[in-house]
Structure 1
Amino acid sequence: MLGFQDPVADAIGLLRPRTVIGPSLRAVGDWALRFDTFLHVRIGGLVRGTCWLILEGQEPVLLQEGDTFMLGNPPPYVLASTLDASPSPAESVWARAEDGFVRIGPESEEDLYLCVGHIAFDDSNAALLTDLLPPLVIVRVADPHGRRLALLIDLLATEVGVAAAGGPLVQNHLAQILLVHMLRAHAGRTDRPTGWLGALNEDGIGAALRAVHADVAHSWSLKELAEISHMSRSAFAQAFKSHVGVPPLEYLIQWRMSLARDALARDTLSISELARATGYLSESAFSTAFRRVVGSSPAQFRNQARQPPRSATNVAAGRE
């Protein structure tokens, strides 16, 4: 049986997030660091000081103490003390890290203190979240969620700088909590995004989404979902597509296939068991739906997922 509970928790669980935090940056004087493109999310915040965030295709943003930021599938970007500072590759500077810190310039009580990290997701389902994110989300410390996020950044920075038992585990959990709060802040804005993330704030549509996630094997009809939302079928269908981007029953199919991809990749259920768990009366009906959405049969997808990644040899040899 596949277990589901809440759309945000379900989606993040399927994404299998892998978090790498730090090193933190301490810097004084003129400096600039250029970061390469990264999949899927970068996240960070200023514990102390100010700096510029310069993202290709966007106006430069001045970050101030307590501000947090999230980058979705970001193009190359620069963090800098001033807009005219000449950037150095961040990778080479990061390689000089000691005790969880990178220092630029002499140690000072007035230095900038920046905590950054990245979160990578399982490629097969990463689009569940990354398709909903703009390239840049800034939450100011004065925003409704800002103080809470600033506290999380401060806690995260403390964990990076202390070699304590369980440190990586704490960092991983704090980063995921930070991600959820950033998503809440983003979805709660007046210019909130389309997709399930923003739709959760709509009482009727959110209720329907939660019902689907609570029982994905149920043979949901448009009439049932509209009743849960306390709307007529036509009004519900129009509102759902407006907020989520696809019709209700298409969303159900896409969510079922996301669950199926995850189960096949981990080889936790047979194809016939997976068909029943995702609400299909036969293996052939499930396979037809899977091929339409994913582009391959369930068996082909599972066999491909069993193949070791190209870098597996290097990882085993300790070269990555």
Structure 2
Amino acid sequence: MADAIGLLRPRTVIGPSLRAAGEWALRFDTFLHVRIGGLVRGTCWLILDGHEPVLLREGDTFMLGNPPPYVLASTLDASPRPAAPVWAGAQDALVRIGSESEEDLYLCVGHIAFDDQNAALLTDLLPPLVTVRVDDPHGTRLAQLIDLLATEVGIAAAGGPLVQNHLAQILLVHMLRAHAGQTDRPTGWLGALNEDGIGAALRAVHADVAHPWNLKELAEISHMSRSAFAHSFKNHVGVPPLEYLIQWRMSLARDALARDTLSISELARATGYLSESAFSTAFRRVVGSSPAQFRNQARQPPRSAANGS
């Protein structure tokens, strides 16, 4: 997990937090990547377009992955207003709705964005909404982290942004663990978290991506027969073992090419290919362009910057 999240290069924006009283509803537009939040106090409804409304209670946490528009509301019949101007009026990292003396809700949220090159490593694995209840095996720990995050947001202490950033990323890891334990669907590399044998094979691949791995070696690491390993791996991860290996190598390659840290021949060797041509063929099959084309495109400034807007 550390390898994958490190490759995503997460960037965290915490808050503002929401304190509210009375009847209210805010409609949020769709956004990219991940938002994590939790209720420090009170209850509210989370209404995701196309999904059944979810009542969040004190101590519950939630994670939104590339979601459609959604509403946070005190009641299901409250009329929502756009959240953007309300959020823009935050003061001291806090949005208030209603009378301060009557506040009965305290919601803490953070947005985690990833490098676009590899964001799909995670976002393709997530449903639009993951909810962890406070009485879930992971729930108490997550509620404590949300409480710590809310405390850091509410004080102007030295090193606050650094602490907030790390707490948000710890929250992300625990939410991913909770999600992997809740679902019986294939969840990519998340699917190995609760599987010792498959996890051992994945750790070996990530530790030495340049090694010429084959199915027999990976099955032996997992203490399974080749057929049992291949079936279990695909069942939990969603793709065959050697296809996963290729996808992971190409994720590393995209990251290196975008940052121009290695030549193409060096990158070929670093990702387990005996020649630049073999690497280029695999890269084109997975990514849809040659390594040189991808690197050149990554060097181009964003369109908005090029236009001066």
Normalised to the residue count of structure 1, the TM-score between the two structures is: 0.93
CA contact 2:177–2:193 (8 Å) conserved in 1: no
Q: Which residue of structure 2 aligns with residue 176 of structure 1?
A: 169
Of the three residues 91, 94, 112, the one matched with 2:105 is 112
**Structure 1 residues 30 and 109 mapped into 2: Cα distance closer, same or farther (>3 Å)?**
closer
Superposed CA deviations along residues 104-158 of structure 1, whole A, max 9, x for unmatched, are 0111264210001211111111111111111111111111111110111111111
Q: Which residue of structure 2 aligns with residue 267 of structure 1?
A: 260
CA contact 1:49–1:110 (8 Å) conserved in 2: no
In 2, the alpha carbon distance for the partners of 1:264 and 1:77 equals: 36
Superposed CA deviations along residues 70-121 of structure 1, whole A, max 9, x for unmatched, are 0111100000000000001110101111111100011126421000121111
**Structure 1 residues 186 and 291 mapped into 2: Cα distance closer, same or farther (>3 Å)?**
same
CA RMSD of aligned residues (A): 1.4
Deviation at 1:23, TM superposition (A): 0.6
CA contact 2:19–2:103 (8 Å) conserved in 1: no
Deviation at 1:229, TM superposition (A): 1.0
In 1, the alpha carbon distance for the partners of 2:55 and 2:187 equals: 27
Deviation at 1:311, TM superposition (A): 3.6
The number of equivalent residue pairs is 308
In 1, the alpha carbon distance for the partners of 2:31 and 2:190 equals: 22
**Structure 1 residues 197 and 157 mapped into 2: Cα distance closer, same or farther (>3 Å)?**
same
After alignment, is 103-112 or 79-88 more displaced?
Answer: 103-112
Deviation at 1:240, TM superposition (A): 1.2
CA contact 1:187–1:193 (8 Å) conserved in 2: no
CA contact 2:93–2:154 (8 Å) conserved in 1: yes
Superposed CA deviations along residues 244-267 of structure 1, whole A, max 9, x for unmatched, are 111111110000000000011111
In 2, the alpha carbon distance for the partners of 1:143 and 1:168 equals: 29
Deviation at 1:67, TM superposition (A): 0.5
CA contact 2:19–2:105 (8 Å) conserved in 1: yes
**Structure 1 residues 190 and 125 mapped into 2: Cα distance closer, same or farther (>3 Å)?**
closer
After alignment, is 161-170 or 287-296 more displaced?
Answer: 161-170
In 1, the alpha carbon distance for the partners of 2:60 and 2:256 equals: 38
CA contact 1:29–1:81 (8 Å) conserved in 2: yes
3-state SS in 2 of match to 1:311: helix
In 1, the alpha carbon distance for the partners of 2:306 and 2:112 equals: 23
Gaps of 5+ in 1: 1-7, 315-319
Q: Which runs of at least 4 in structure 1 moved beyond 4 Å after TM superposition?
A: none
3-state SS in 1 of match to 2:40: strand
Deviation at 1:189, TM superposition (A): 2.2
CA contact 1:194–1:242 (8 Å) conserved in 2: no
In 1, the alpha carbon distance for the partners of 2:37 and 2:306 equals: 32
3-state SS in 1 of match to 2:59: coil
1:304 corresponds to 2:294: no
Deviation at 1:313, TM superposition (A): 6.3
In 1, the alpha carbon distance for the partners of 2:142 and 2:303 equals: 37
Deviation at 1:310, TM superposition (A): 2.6
Identity across the alignment (%)? 91
**Structure 1 residues 219 and 121 mapped into 2: Cα distance closer, same or farther (>3 Å)?**
same
Deviation at 1:243, TM superposition (A): 1.4
3-state SS in 2 of match to 1:114: strand
Deviation at 1:203, TM superposition (A): 1.7
In 1, the alpha carbon distance for the partners of 2:302 and 2:223 equals: 47
**Structure 1 residues 90 and 190 mapped into 2: Cα distance closer, same or farther (>3 Å)?**
closer
Deviation at 1:191, TM superposition (A): 3.1
